[in-house]
Every structure is written in structure tokens, then in C-alpha cells.
């Protein structure tokens, strides 16, 4: 089946720094989503981005479907950005998640 | 707003106990899902359901069963809890044939099996 790989697995940054999270997938997809799981466990939809670029405040995402990767950019990190970031793709009506990137933003 | 609720945020059970995790959604979604989340492993699909009384095995169904008697409620059952089922359990719902962005998650249940 399709593989979804995220890197890095862990990231520790000082508040104010910028970061780039990567998601590689092994087959073509027409559905890709980035989620943020806050420290209390709630998963929140960030971007639905099967292709192209989207921006929402300090966060933006780019998916290059032909090269099978997506990037999530976080600028001017804040402590509230801490948590786990997942990318996920849809295949046969089931969502397949990557293993996530755990982000720690230090004050 | 879509609301997916789970019956407990934290649960502590003993080995061998029968455990029920309840999930309720209020958006009339046909599709409902149960995942477990473990550090370094991401979210793994346990069971899903596309309709009342219908269930399908996901990637890791062993040791679990489910029940969907009503459209809004999807229950995950651990017939005889074991310590390796200590995990975070997440329920989700989504309309059929829709993209990932329409999938909504509950707040999760952290289960500890002693």
C-alpha cells in the first residue's frame, strides 16, 4: 500500500524560529491533509492541499504532487505551535497517516 | 460546528476487563472510524463503519471489536483488555466519498491498562 513518511521525527526550536516539515508519499494521491495535534490530543485540520500552495497566517503548505511530497512551513514559531504535525492521504476511502513530526517550541 | 465526542478523556482499567469506548457525532455522517495512536507510530486504523450495523476491519483489528447500532454512535470494545492496548484512542467521522478535510476527530481517550 501507499507509504507516507514524515521528517524530521522530532524538532526542537526556540520561539521565533522558522521550520519546515516534510511529507513524502510513495504513490500519486489526490487528497492530502496536514493536521496539528495539540498537547491535549485534539487533532485539528490545518490544510487540505492535494497540490499547489496555501497560506494561513504564519503557516503555509506546498504540495508538489508530481514529485510526491508536501511541505509545511511555520514562521515565527510560538509556544502554542508545539505538538505533533501529521500529514495524511486518502486511498480507497481510508486515510493513511504519516508517523508525525513532534515539534517543541521553547520559550 | 461538527462535533465528535468521546465518552472519556482518561480511563484506567485492569488486565482482563471488558472496556467500552463510546463515540458520538452530531453531523449525520455515515462514515465513522476508530484509530489508536502510539508514539512514533502515528495513527493506525482499527475499525471503520460506513453505515449502521456495518463494520470493516482496519489495519490492526486484533483484540478489538466494534458496534454501530445507531448512525451517530460507534463503539470500540476491548473484550479482554491487555497492557499492550494502553494507548490513545481517537474516533473520527466523515461524510461518504468526501475528501480528508471533511474528517473530524474527537478529543481522544487515553486508556491505561494495568
B83 — phi, psi (to 5°)? -60, -30
Q: Summarize pLDDT for B49-88 with one digit per residue, the tens.
A: 999 989 999 999 999 999 999 999 999 999 999 999 999 9
Q: Are A99 and A22 in contact (CB under 8 A)?
A: no
Q: Which of A39, A43, A46 to mutate to test the interface with B (most CBs of B within 10 A)?
A: A43
Q: Tell me the three cell numbers of residue A80.
A: 502554542
pLDDT-derived band at A90 (thresholds 50, 70, 90) equals confident
The residues, any chain, with a CB within 8 Å of residue B66's CB and separated by 6 or more, are B34, B46, B47, B49, B55, B74, B75, B76, B77
A39 and B CB contact within 8 Å: no
Q: Summarize pLDDT for A2-14 with one digit per residue, the tens.
A: 899 999 999 999 9
- Chain A residues with beta carbon closer than 8 angstroms to that of B88: 41
Q: Tell me the three cell numbers of residue B83.
A: 497492557
- Distance (Å) from the alpha carbon of A30 to chain B's nearest alpha carbon: 9
Cα first-last separation, chain A: 40
Distance CA A47, CA A8 (A): 19
Amino acid at each position: 500500500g501507499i507509504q507516507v513518511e514524515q521528517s524530521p521525527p522530532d524538532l526542537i526550536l526556540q520561539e521565533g524560529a522558522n521550520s519546515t516539515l516534510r511529507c513524502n508519499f510513495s504513490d500519486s494521491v489526490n487528497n492530502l491533509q496536514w493536521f496539528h495535534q495539540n498537547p491535549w490530543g485534539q487533532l485539528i485540520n490545518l490544510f487540505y492541499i492535494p497540490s499547489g500552495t496555501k497560506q494561513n497566517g504564519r503557516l503555509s503548505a506546498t504540495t508538489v504532487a508530481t514529485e510526491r511530497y508536501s511541505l509545511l512551513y511555520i514562521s515565527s514559531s510560538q509556544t502554542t505551535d508545539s505538538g505533533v504535525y501529521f500529514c495524511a492521504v486518502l486511498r480507497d476511502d481510508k486515510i493513511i497517516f504519516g508517523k508525525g513530526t513532534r515539534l517543541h517550541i521553547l520559550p | 460546528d461538527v462535533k465528535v465526542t468521546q465518552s472519556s478523556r482518561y480511563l484506567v482499567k485492569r488486565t482482563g476487563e471488558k472496556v467500552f469506548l463510546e463515540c458520538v457525532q452530531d453531523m449525520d455522517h455515515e462514515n465513522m472510524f476508530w484509530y489508536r495512536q502510539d508514539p512514533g507510530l502515528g495513527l493506525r486504523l482499527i475499525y471503520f463503519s460506513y453505515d449502521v450495523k456495518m463494520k470493516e476491519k482496519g489495519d490492526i483489528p486484533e483484540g478489538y471489536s466494534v458496534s454501530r447500532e445507531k448512525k451517530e454512535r460507534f463503539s470500540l470494545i476491548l473484550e479482554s483488555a491487555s497492557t499492550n492496548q494502553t494507548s490513545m484512542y481517537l474516533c473520527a467521522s466523515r461524510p461518504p466519498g468526501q475528501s480528508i478535510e471533511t474528517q473530524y476527530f474527537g478529543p481522544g481517550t487515553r486508556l491505561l491498562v494495568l
